Amino acid sequence: MYSVYPLLLSNLFFIFIFSFYFQSRSLLLPKNAILPLRIQSIQPGSLTKPPKKLYFNHNISLTVTLTVGSPPQPVTMVLDTGSELSYLHCNKTPTTPLSYDALHSTSYTPIPCTSPVCKTRTRDFTLPVSCDQKKLCHVILSYADATSVEGNLAYDTFRFTDSVLPGVIFGCMDTGSSSNQEEDSKSTGLMGLNRGSLSFVTQMGYPKFSYCISGQDSTGVLMFGEFNTTWLKPLSYTPMVNISTPLPYFDRVAYTVQLEGIKVAGTVLPLPKSVYEPDHTGAGQTMIDSGTQFTFLLGPVYTALKNEFLKQTKNVLRVYEDLNFVFQGAMDLCYRVERSRVGLPVLPNVSMMFRGSEMVVSGQKLLFKVGGLTKGSDDVYCFTFGNSDLLGIEAYVIGHHHQQNMWMEFDLVNNRVGFAEISCDSATQKLGIDS
């Protein structure tokens, strides 16, 4: 979930200490640990470091289930590669019926203001951390979708069946606001998986992680570590973009890749490559974000894509002409589709051309049915690319809807992102996980 505020400078000395701390902890990870929702043992085979598996569900958000605290309490967390700090809702309110009870965990340890952790500079902390009345480290996290949470930093033990991770840093949040209370009621918190020093994947200490998302309202798998995937066709890799100089609108711990062009069927949008590159402020980076549902493009690129898609579908789709309707505030290209029709018509593929690789979006992933909206005998479907400018986001964001039925790999050691088309239902079977 993309953070709306500018990047704060990192405390390099603190990051060095934490890197050593997390690397030391990673040596203690069990050799055959597996992460649930549903868990199966992985045969050692050719694994250089046996992976962990998490089985997840998704609708608007991707969620994983694990346990936290002593004794263990089950929690459900949104999987978010766009965020750093993981957090849990730590009290019960009408909008957050799922919560974690810190008072009943003997391993829960709040972090005081005097701790170096409280002085960490991350993009997630939208305001400088402060001390509350109990001299504990108080943080506020805000996101571009208008959600926010606040509470205290703390340590506790996170568990994945036979894996025990003591002293994981997270946010124990007691207040917050939401743009989607119905979805929030299905989760206990958020698992931050970006490249920051406080992210869950950094604290785990694994060199890479992967996930595969099945179709709408379905399931998938999240895996940490190296594993044998001889049944998976070779991944197409694109390097991550790194900028050493701090820039106000560039998130240096995001999974940033370089978008170089977009084409509809065989037609490349007539735009210069420079329109896809970050400017001198860092605005215009391309991030892969599992915490965002759809894909958002900066205004000039979105307009060019919209016009080309309209041109190529004018004979097979009927535009929904309501100037006052913009789906989710950023998607203004929608269509009327007869409810009696079986399936959507054949649509032109949209390809996002990255440096060294290409991600093809086709078929059902191009249009999304708007729930609860009908016009006569028609349903309304909207184009699944939106306009970043309408959301106030100075970036290209590749959401999880367009990652469905793709194996997504985030290789932290080799500084690259890989992907390959696959049936994720088939992948979970290959991995020995029941649907």
Give catalytic residues, as residue numbers: 80, 289
What distance in Å separates the CA atoms of residue 256 and residue 279, rounded to the nearest whole number? 14
Nearest-CA neighbor of 199 among 350, 39, 1, 351? Answer: 1
N- to C-terminal Cα separation, the chain: 27
DSSP type of residue 234: P
DSSP type of residue 179: S
Cβ–Cβ < 8 Å for 260, 267: no
CB-based contacts of 341: which residues, under 8 Å, 6+ apart? none
What distance in Å separates the CA atoms of residue 73 and residue 227, rounded to the nearest whole number? 29
Secondary structure (3-state) at 20: helix
Cβ–Cβ < 8 Å for 199, 192: yes
3-state secondary structure 274-333: HHHCCCCCCCCEEEECCCCCCEEECHHHHHHHHHHHHHHHCCCCEECCCCCCCECCCECC
What distance in Å separates the CA atoms of residue 100 and residue 97, rounded to the nearest whole number? 10
Instruction: Using DSSP bridges, classify how beta strands 236-239 and 163-177 pair: parallel, antiparallel or unpaired.
Output: unpaired
Residue type, 41: S
Q: Is 43 exposed, middle or buried (0-12, 13-18, 19+ CB in 10 A)?
A: exposed
Could you give the C-alpha distances from 154 to 69, 112, 166, 172, 379, in angstroms and in order? Answer: 11, 9, 12, 7, 47
What distance in Å separates the CA atoms of residue 27 and residue 152, rounded to the nearest whole number? 28
Task: Say which residue the tokens 């992102």 belong to.
Answer: 417
**What count of other Cβ atoms lies within 10 Å of the Cβ of residue 357?**
18
Task: Say which residue the tokens 């701790």 belong to.
Answer: 115
